[in-house]
Amino acid sequence: MTGSFVVFEGIEGCGKTTQLQRTCDWLRSRVRGSVVVTREPGGTELGRQLRTVLLEVREGEPIGDRAELLLYAADRAQHVERSIKPQLASGAIVLCDRYTDSTVAYQGYGRQLNRELIDRLNHIATGGLEPDLTLWLDVEPEIGLDRARKRGEANRLEREALDFHRRVRQGYAALAQQYPHRIVRIDGRRSPDEVEKKVQQILTERLSLKLSGLELPPTWMRDTGDNG
Ligand code: TMP
C-alpha cells in the first residue's frame, strides 16, 4: 500500500463528519495526489443499502445484536475490497468516517458482544488492513447527543439510552490505551476551528513522518510556499 489511511472516530455528535470535510479541503489544497472521503457504513453501493437497513428506525422486528454485527462486517468487507484497498494502492490519502474501532466501541462495549469475536470478524472483513492514523474526537455523550438531536431526527443508534453511549465512549478510551501508536485523542468539546487546527497539526506531523519513511514520494507534497 502506498497511500495513507486516516480514520475519524467518536460517538454521535462528536464533530467528526465536519472535521473530515474540512480536513479533505485542507489536504486537497496541499497535496498533489488524490484525497478521498468515504465512510462506514455506506462507502459502496452495497454499503449504502446496508446503511439504510442499519440506521432506519424500525417499527416491526428489531435487528438482533449479532445480525447487526454481521451487517457492519459485510459493509466493511465490501468497502475494503472495492474501495479502500484500490484507492490506497493508487497512492491516495483515504479519509474514512468510522472503521473497525466503531465496531469494538458500539457492538463490543455498547452491545456488550464478545470482544474476541469482534476482533476476528474485523480481521476477516479487513484482511488485516489497519489505519495509519485514527483521530478520536472525544466528547461526553450528553454533549454529543444534544448536538446530534439538534441536527434532526435521531437514527436507530442515536435513540439508544445514555448508558449505551457512555459504554461506547469507554470503548474508545480503552482502544486509545490499547493502540497509543495509532489512535490520537482530540478534545471534541473545543470549537470546530480549534479542533480543525489540532487535526492539521497531527496530520502534518504524521504524514511527514510517512514521507520521511519514503512510503510516499517527496514530490507528493505541494510546495505551498507557507509552513502549513
Ligand atoms: P454515522 O457514521 O453517521 O455516525 O452513523 C453510523 C452509525 O452506525 C453510528 O451510530 C455508529 C454505528 N456503527 C456501529 O454501531 N458499528 C460500526 O461498526 C459502524 C461502522 C458504525
pLDDT in tens, 60-116: 899 999 999 999 999 999 999 999 999 999 999 999 999 999 999 999 999 999 999
Q: Is residue 51 in contact with ligand 1, taking CB distance under 6 Å?
A: no
More confident residue, 24 or 215: 24
Q: Is residue 40 in contact with ligand 1, taking CB distance under 6 Å?
A: yes
- Cα 91 to middle of ligand 1, angstroms: 27
Average pLDDT of 212-227?
Answer: 44
Q: Do the Cβ atoms of 72 and 47 come closer than 8 Å? A: no
pLDDT of residue 226: 40
- Cα 40 to middle of ligand 1, angstroms: 7
Q: Do the Cβ atoms of 46 and 75 come closer than 8 Å? A: yes
**Domain positions in the chain:** 4-227
Average pLDDT of 147-171?
Answer: 91
pLDDT of residue 1: 59
pTM score, whole prediction? 0.92
More confident residue, 18 or 206: 18
Lowest mean pLDDT among 77-81, 148-152, 171-175, 210-214: 210-214
Lowest mean pLDDT among 45-54, 61-70, 83-92, 204-213: 204-213
pLDDT of residue 223: 45
Q: Could you tell me the CATH superfamily of domain 4-227?
A: P-loop containing nucleotide triphosphate hydrolases (3.40.50.300)
The sheet with strand 183-187 has its strands ordered as 35-39, 93-97, 4-9, 133-138, 183-187
**pLDDT higher than threshold 60 for residue 120:** yes
State which of 102, 107, 117 you would mutate to test the pocket of ligand 1, scoring each by most atoms of that ligand within 8 A of its C-beta: 102
- Cα 227 to middle of ligand 1, angstroms: 36
**pLDDT higher than threshold 60 for residue 219:** no
pLDDT band per the 50, 70, 90 thresholds, residue 209:
low
How crowded is residue 217: how many other Cβ atoms within 10 Å of its Cβ? 12
Q: Which is the closest atom of ligand 1 to the Cα of 75?
A: 20
State which of 157, 158, 168, 172 you would mutate to test the pocket of ligand 1, scoring each by most atoms of that ligand within 8 A of its C-beta: 157
State which of 106, 123, 159 you would mutate to test the pocket of ligand 1, scoring each by most atoms of that ligand within 8 A of its C-beta: 106
Lowest mean pLDDT among 64-73, 170-179, 197-206: 197-206
pLDDT of residue 218: 42
More confident residue, 57 or 44: 44
Cell 497539526 identifies what position?
201
